[in-house]
Amino acid sequence: MKVYRRIGWLCLGLALASQAEAAVKNVRVVWEANPSSEAIIGFSRSGSAASSGQYVKYGSSTTESSWQNSGTAIKRTFKSSLDNYFVRLTGLSANTEYYFRACDSTGCTEPYFFRTAPSAPQGLTFIAGGDSRTNRSQRQQGNRLVQKVRPHFVMFSGDYTDNHSASEMDTWLTDWLLTYTPTTINGVAYKQAYPLIPTVGNHEASDMNFMCSVFGVDADRNGSCSLRDSYYALNVGNLLRIYTLNTEFGSAQANDRTAQRNWLNGDLPANGSSAQWRLAQYHKPMFPRSSSKPAVHQIALDWAQVFYDYRMNLVNESDTHIAKYTKPVRPNGSDYQEVSAGTVYIGEGAWGAPVRTADRSSPWIVDQGSFAHLNVIQATTSNIDIRTVYLSSEPNTSTLSKASRDADPLALPSGWSLWDSAAVGNVFSLKRAANNLTELNESTSVPGQTISLSATRDVTVASSGTLQNGNTVLADGDDAGKQLRALLGWGLTSVPAGATVQSASIKLNVVDPSSGSYNLHAMNSSWSETAASYAQTSGGTLIGSVVPSSNGSASITLNAAGVAMVQGWLNGSMVNHGVVLSSGGSSNGVDFSSRESGNGAQLLLNFTVPTLR
């Protein structure tokens, strides 16, 4: 009996030991090649804790007793102090969840899981972004957004930290854990990790071997870290072939720069057609959109022709900290030329780095803006849809459940704020052209088929009955006992006949912001700047809302009812009585420019006219 009791205690001890806290942390999953069957699991030594015998326990079911141990992890040290360990899992099954813990001789981490890439061309939802270096809270906001989207993978286009020190990178890896979605499966709390495809940014130029020493990339499979590990390509099934390139090869790396160009010039013709779409990511844009940057980055521009020649469809750039969409383009000397089918470039990285002014204009730009964001991209065999998400909308974004993602690879969360790009609205939709290059998906986005209408009438009406028609229009829930509402109206005669409104928004130039929420309603009766009553401003359909929290442009995207209202105005099925902006309860008023000031409210319409195409 004593023997059995001792054995029981021993088993319990061993069981507890296996769950004891490991001296390792910051687990990450990295894709470098063959993501249907391979993944790199990386983790770091925890602080100054002693750690030995690092490995990964993993399996394709949640039954942990069936998991197998990997071989001993490879140790690589970043900047002499950040010890990292890597295990390359091979022979995995496609489109399969793998559950794992990172372990050392003292115990294991909490359990995680990730999904391998599908081998069949199924739809994919993934994230592209970069530049997370200085504003840590914004970086964390972006990471939590990843968590809520449950993407298949993340393309990160460089500039992780500011000074690329070991302590900064350690912090970044800790923050990266925020991208993992807590998921309970069979009563066990897991975290779903999303494979990362890393890129070198200029802030990593002091040690570009971090691709290997921090993320475990060993592109040339030679078992050691070198600059060759900073550019590579992988296929996500046969849907995508993703190229990761290094723009940071300077003068001292001229040989590596030439080798990379030769590799790209050889790989794209040889392997580019192995997938239906070809994507690329790198750090410095060919033509940065801010005048605070050089007009051209030659190292990237050197790739433009081979991109075009071998059907590169979509390129994610970074570095400038702005948002942009280009039209399909081809290289034309030291510039782009808009073409019906070409390469589309998006970017330019604002995942926590300070945004710059997007002040360079080019005819091949669809739209550009200055705000923190990341891009949620959805690819199918026929289309690529891009949504640029404001990081600031993360708190309002719902978390997609595992069941939703499992059921629909293209499912998306709700509640987020999307960039209302001037020419294409919330979704930048692309399709593959007959020649396998990219063209705009004209059913939903037709550059040039947008119009911006200036307000033709606006007035402030107070609950006391007075009207105010000066250089500003006001709305307020309590202005010395009065309520103020802003009436706005536009003429639509310049919209082509037969236009079908795809999206609509209203832009205000705020001159006195408010922390409160303001609602936009349809007006149901006629009014003019000299004849309007407070009573007639109530009862209309809610068509949008806004928190005008800062001076400058504030955009209100009209909801479906709002779009229908505008369509009704155009069709003649509804009378165009304009709209009214009123407080949602706040007594903190908002002032914005009136038409009399020359910068009145704008109604932006995105529409299609079938007869034009």
Partner 1 sequence: MPTHCGPFSFTAMPLHKPLTRIVILHWLALPLLLASLASGLRIHISSRLDDLFPGVAHWLPQGDVYGLHLLLACAWLALACAYGTHLWLNRAARPYSAAGRMAPYNRGLIQALRWLLLALLLLGLAIYLAGSAAAGGWLLWAHRWLAFTLLACFILHMVMQAGWTPWNQLRAIVLPRLTWQACIVTLLAALGISTATWLMRPIWQQATTTVLPVSSIALSETITVDGASTEAAWQHAAARTVDTLGVGREQAAIPVTVQALRQGEVMYFRFSWPDPTPSLQHLPLIKTSTGWQIKQRGLNQHDETLYYEDKLAIMFARDAAAAGSGSMQLGQQPVHQAPPHATGRGYHAAQRGGLIDVWHWKAVRTHGFNQLDDSHFGSPYPVVPGDTRYTAGYKSDPLQAGGYTENWAWPGEGNIRPKRLPRDPALLDRFQEAKADDPGVYWGMSWYESIPYDNKDDHYPVGTVMPSVLWKTVFEGDRGDVQAAAQWQQGRWTLEAARGIQSASAFDLDLVDGLYLWVAVFDHAQIRHSYHLRPLRLRFD
Binding site for partner 1 (CB under 8 A): 133-134, 161-165, 167-168, 202-203, 205-207, 226, 250-255, 258, 293-294, 298
9 sits in which H/E element: helix 2-19
**In whole angstroms, how close is the CB of 317 to partner 1 at the nearest point?**
16
Q: Is there a contact between 95 and 78 (Cβ–Cβ < 8 Å)?
A: no
Name which of 156 and 428 has its Cβ closer to partner 1.
Answer: 156
**In whole angstroms, how close is the CB of 48 to partner 1 at the nearest point?**
14
Distance between CA atoms of residues 194 and 112, nearest Å: 10
Helix, strand or coil for residue 350? strand
**In whole angstroms, how close is the CB of 82 to partner 1 at the nearest point?**
14
Neighbours of 241 (CB within 10 A): 24
* CA Rg value for the chain: 27
**In whole angstroms, how close is the CB of 178 to partner 1 at the nearest point?**
19
Name which of 200 and 558 has its Cβ closer to partner 1.
Answer: 200
Name which of 69 and 167 has its Cβ closer to partner 1.
Answer: 167
Distance between CA atoms of residues 261 and 271, nearest Å: 15
What DSSP line would sit under 434-479, residue for residue?
TTSSEEE-TTT--TT-EEEEE-SEEEEEETTS-EE-SSEEEEEEEE
Distance between CA atoms of residues 15 and 370, nearest Å: 53
**In whole angstroms, how close is the CB of 133 to partner 1 at the nearest point?**
8
Name which of 226 and 524 has its Cβ closer to partner 1.
Answer: 226
Name which of 101 and 203 has its Cβ closer to partner 1.
Answer: 203
**In whole angstroms, how close is the CB of 304 to partner 1 at the nearest point?**
18
The DSSP bridge partners found for residue 115 are 97
Name which of 37 and 202 has its Cβ closer to partner 1.
Answer: 202
Please name which of 374, 381, 366 lies closest in space to residue 313, comparing C-alpha atoms: 381
Distance between CA atoms of residues 578 and 491, nearest Å: 9
Tell me the helix, strand and coil percentages in the chain, rounded to 5.
20, 35, 45
Neighbours of 9 (CB within 10 A): 10
Helix, strand or coil for residue 164? coil
**In whole angstroms, how close is the CB of 168 to partner 1 at the nearest point?**
6
Distance between CA atoms of residues 74 and 409, nearest Å: 34
Name which of 65 and 251 has its Cβ closer to partner 1.
Answer: 251
Please name which of 554, 146, 517 lies closest in space to residue 352, comparing C-alpha atoms: 146
Residue with tokens 């990172």: 102
Helix, strand or coil for residue 415? coil
Please name which of 112, 116, 114, 107 lies closest in space to residue 55, comparing C-alpha atoms: 107
**In whole angstroms, how close is the CB of 201 to partner 1 at the nearest point?**
10
Name which of 294 and 539 has its Cβ closer to partner 1.
Answer: 294
DSSP designation for 565: H
List of residues 6+ apart from 414 with CB closer than 8 A: 397, 398
**In whole angstroms, how close is the CB of 167 to partner 1 at the nearest point?**
7
Name which of 104 and 168 has its Cβ closer to partner 1.
Answer: 168
Name which of 94 and 259 has its Cβ closer to partner 1.
Answer: 259
**In whole angstroms, how close is the CB of 203 to partner 1 at the nearest point?**
5
Name which of 167 and 515 has its Cβ closer to partner 1.
Answer: 167
**In whole angstroms, how close is the CB of 338 to partner 1 at the nearest point?**
28
Name which of 201 and 578 has its Cβ closer to partner 1.
Answer: 201
**In whole angstroms, how close is the CB of 143 to partner 1 at the nearest point?**
18
DSSP designation for 80: T
Name which of 162 and 408 has its Cβ closer to partner 1.
Answer: 162
**In whole angstroms, how close is the CB of 206 to partner 1 at the nearest point?**
4
Please give the C-alpha separations between residue 595 and each of 313, 457, 496, 532, in angstroms, as whole numbers: 42, 7, 23, 17
The DSSP bridge partners found for residue 238 are none
**365-369/323-326 β-pairing:** antiparallel
Distance between CA atoms of residues 239 and 275, nearest Å: 5
**In whole angstroms, how close is the CB of 130 to partner 1 at the nearest point?**
15
Neighbours of 598 (CB within 10 A): 10
Sign of CA dihedral 493, 495, 496, 497: negative
